[in-house]
Amino acid sequence: MITVWKQENRKFIEGARGEGRVWVDARNVTRDDIRELESEYGVDTEIIMDILDPDELSRIDREDEYTLIIVRLPIFLAANEVSYFTIPLGILLFPDFVVTICWADCEVLHDLTNNRVRGLSLGDLPAFVVRVLARADLIYLRYLKEINRRSGTIELELQKSVRNNELIQLLNLEKSLVYFTTSLKSNQLLFEKLMKTRLIQLDEEDREWMEDVATDNRQAIEMADIYSNILSGMMDAFASVISNNLSIVMKRLTVISLVLMIPTMITSFFGMNVTLPTSSWPGHSALVAIVATCLVSSLVAMVLLQDKRAKKPAIGPVEKKRLRKKNRAIR
């Protein structure tokens, strides 16, 4: 869908392309939108396809009629398996208007159209680009904090009971952090190129603002790296816990099977068609022998399966002094 925005009294309102600078906002682009962008605004088909590519990296190019800037934006979709990921946004700067192209909707574009970004003006298109990049960094930092909170909640659930659902959620969060780290590093290269080259004319105020944006972007990269390392260590720790629990269960099953072999072996003798020493015993001597063997085996199993790690009693100050004197005497 293509929407044309005009600015009146520092607020965006829907309008039509005419006199004055406008913002052509293309989101959830369809084939009809692609044809309209080609015919009405003169955007090349190859450029549109590059912008609509989910794996397109951030870059800046100079065409004959416009300047192309592609930046990676964060997006949150609760219905997706990986809720947090990134998408490319294409910004095309024409002399008298600006065009943005994105294959999905995101919070950054919502904030722009809902007039939540201060100082956003179509009268200065380079400053417009800087404000968009600054808003993207703010959303990145917000989503990173949300990912950290969600991972902390899942960790508390896993401490109670290790289940596959929580582990899959941690894996998806780890994927999101990888997507964020890759996109943030790609954006950082774009910021450095914008400040070094003259592809867009930035005044002194815009350059200072761009330096602040680059600083926030580096902070987001460091946060993503830290959270990714913590999440990776958490996954390794829970994998070790699962392996340890499995080893304990297998140990107990092995002990039980070994103990059950003893009464099985003894009762098998009574099933043989041969003369046994106990055949001359009066009464139900065979039954008594089997029951006694089972009881002994049960006691042996209890001894083998009980936790041998006894808690050490707390040592008081008097006992500590005695131990120190004893150690000195030994030395």
- Domain harbouring 128, CATH code: 3.30.460.20
Residue 259: inside a domain: no
| pTM of this structure | 0.76
Q: State CA 181 to chain mean position distance.
A: 11
Place of tokens 């099953």: 253
Residue 78: inside a domain: yes
pLDDT at residue 311, rounded to an integer: 47
pLDDT at residue 274, rounded to an integer: 60
Q: Which portions of the chain are predicted below pLDDT 50?
A: 309-312, 314, 330-331
Residue 308: inside a domain: no
Provide the residue range defining the domain that includes 64: 2-242
Residue 260: inside a domain: no
Please give the backbone phi and psi of residue 80, each rounded to the nearest 5 degrees, phi first.
-75, 155
Residue 275: inside a domain: no
pLDDT at residue 278, rounded to an integer: 57
DSSP character for 271?
T
For residue 32, count other CB atoms closer than 10 A to its CB.
Answer: 10
How many independent structural domains does the chain possess? Answer: 1
Identity of the amino acid at 294: C
pLDDT at residue 310, rounded to an integer: 46
Q: Residue 186 has which token pair?
A: 């790609």
Residue 68: inside a domain: yes
Residue 249: inside a domain: no
Residue 119: inside a domain: yes
